[in-house]
Structure 1
Amino acid sequence: MLALFLVGILLSLIFPSSMHAAVQFDNTRIFFSAKEREVSIRLINKGNESALMQAWVDKGNPDIQPDNADAPFLVMPPIFRLDPKEAQSVRIIFAGEKLPQDRESLYWLNFLEIPAIPKENGVDFIQFALRSRFKLFYRPVGLPGNPSEAITQVRWRIIEQDAGRYALKGENPTPYHITYRWLKLSYGGKDYDIDVGMINPFAQREYTLGEISAEEKNGRIRYRGVGDYGILPEQQAVVKKVSVNSTSP
């Protein structure tokens, strides 16, 4: 397994932009309910050549070797061949480790795709591998609130970091990971594209805006999030500007 992993990492670094994956997946975000012992993801080889696949789950370190990835999940089968136009279901099995029960836990599901060696004689070629990483969310039973509505509970404020310099601060009071496809802030006659990405459960993040001279008390954000079943509708909200010493919620 280590040999396959190292080949994939090296070649994907050498050829990051010219590769095209033949293997496609029926989902790119996996939610593992604590009520289930296992979930599955379906792969299909859309290409014309066979591919050797390797699968594993890690805790977030993309450089860790599959044999050392100590996430509490087993992937079955961990290595398999996928012929052209063939489909394969891969099972993700929870190994029973005790995890936090008051929030989601995030892991990463990896697939390494190594194409078959061409059969043409006398032809030079470069064999490369493609690696795909998908978020795997472990969701305990009984978490409060609705995951699809959690994004609307994030508290956004414009705060002063130091004299004349401000930041947009987001606080996630929910037990769910909040993922944004995009977020735009309008304040003081300017528009800001904020690269939010994801805010972890019960966490907060700040995004520096720079110097702001506007005296408006409120700004406005527009955003689209990613839910359990895909992209959420566009939403908007008023954002308050608070002073560094403010105790406003």
Structure 2
Amino acid sequence: MKYIFVLMGLLFSMASQASVIVNATLVVYPSDAKFVNVQLVNRGTTTHLVQSWIDDGNVSDTPEKIKVPFVLTPPVVKMKGGEGQSVKIVGKNLDSLPNNRESVFWLNIVDIPPQPEGKANENYLQVAIRTRIKLFYRPVGLSDSVNEAVKHLSLQRNGGATCVKNDSPYYLTIVNAVTWHGGDLKKKVQGNLLDEALFIAPYSCLAVPASMNGSGQYRISYLDDFGAQRFALL
């Protein structure tokens, strides 16, 4: 048998192409948790092999080279069509992580489809789809709550440069920004000023596109713990 194997590294927004999906858009691991379960579902009709691991942000690292303060089980599993499967994340050596802010890691799920029937003696292209979502380690007792974090965002302007300053202990993801002229925050407005989402670390200031260097106000859309978009003004 001869075949070509291709691994496609995709963000979660592309995961709808996979048969095996993650029933979450992100994972939060509270510091007082003994473990966290993540649910996988095989929406297909055939048995797929699934490999899972956690990385620290380097998308090109292989699982055997990665060192993170978590253990994930099972790392490899076969899932029949229509079945569900839980993977368990257990924290190890979490004392090495900051206790005054969130830390971020990435959960990887690779969906490897079965060999096509009748292709044993033929060349074929086999595509494994990789889903990668954020895993947040969240210390208990952080100042404020995650729902209040957006209130600690501000635009900092210095000459011709502008950044979004995050004075909260939480990571924040802004997916949309528009020039704001007043009205209902939830009203649909055309014209996203962002070329890509802004992922802002705790207590940091992230540069914004030149389109947001003006002196006006902006309406932003940011993601909550459930992946839903919420709105605020900067």
Give TM-score scaled by structure 1 length. Answer: 0.78
| Mapped pair 1:120 → 2:114 | no
- Offset of residue 196 of structure 1: 4.5
Amino acid at match of 1:107: F
> Paired residue for 2:149?
150
> Paired residue for 2:85?
88
- Offset of residue 74 of structure 1: 0.7
When residues 229 and 11 of structure 1 are mapped into structure 2, their CA distance, relative to the original with a 3 A threshold, is: closer
- Offset of residue 155 of structure 1: 1.3
> Paired residue for 2:105?
107
Among 169, 175, 180, which residue is 1:175 paired with? 169
Secondary structure at the aligned position of 1:151 is classed as helix
* 8 Å contact kept, 2:24–2:226: no
Q: Map 1:38-77; keep pairs closer than 5 Å.
A: 38-77=35-74
Larger Rg: 1
* 8 Å contact kept, 1:183–1:196: no
Amino acid at match of 1:209: A
> Paired residue for 1:245?
none
The number of residue pairs the alignment matches comes to 214
Secondary structure at the aligned position of 1:149 is classed as helix
Give TM-score scaled by structure 2 length. Answer: 0.83
Percent identity, aligned pairs only, is 29
Q: What is the root-mean-square deviation of aligned Cα atoms in Å?
A: 2.5
> Paired residue for 2:186?
none
- Offset of residue 152 of structure 1: 2.1
- Offset of residue 220 of structure 1: 0.9
Q: Map 1:1-249; keep pairs closer than 5 Å.
A: 10-12=6-8, 20-98=17-95, 99-120=97-118, 124-160=123-159, 166-185=160-179, 193-194=193-194, 195-209=196-210, 218-237=215-234
- Offset of residue 66 of structure 1: 0.3
Unpaired segments of 5 or more residues in structure 1?
Answer: 1-6, 161-165, 238-249
> Paired residue for 1:244?
none
* 8 Å contact kept, 2:69–2:91: yes
When residues 159 and 24 of structure 1 are mapped into structure 2, their CA distance, relative to the original with a 3 A threshold, is: same
* 8 Å contact kept, 1:186–1:192: no
Secondary structure at the aligned position of 1:129 is classed as strand
When residues 178 and 38 of structure 1 are mapped into structure 2, their CA distance, relative to the original with a 3 A threshold, is: same
When residues 29 and 192 of structure 1 are mapped into structure 2, their CA distance, relative to the original with a 3 A threshold, is: closer
Q: Deviations over 1:91-148 (max 9, x none)?
A: 0111123211010000001011110112225665311111111100000111010101
Q: Which has the higher contact order (CA 8 A, sep 6+)?
A: 2
* 8 Å contact kept, 2:193–2:209: no
> Paired residue for 1:3?
none
- CA–CA distance in structure 2, aligned partners of residues 92 and 233 of structure 1: 28
- CA–CA distance in structure 2, aligned partners of residues 38 and 109 of structure 1: 14
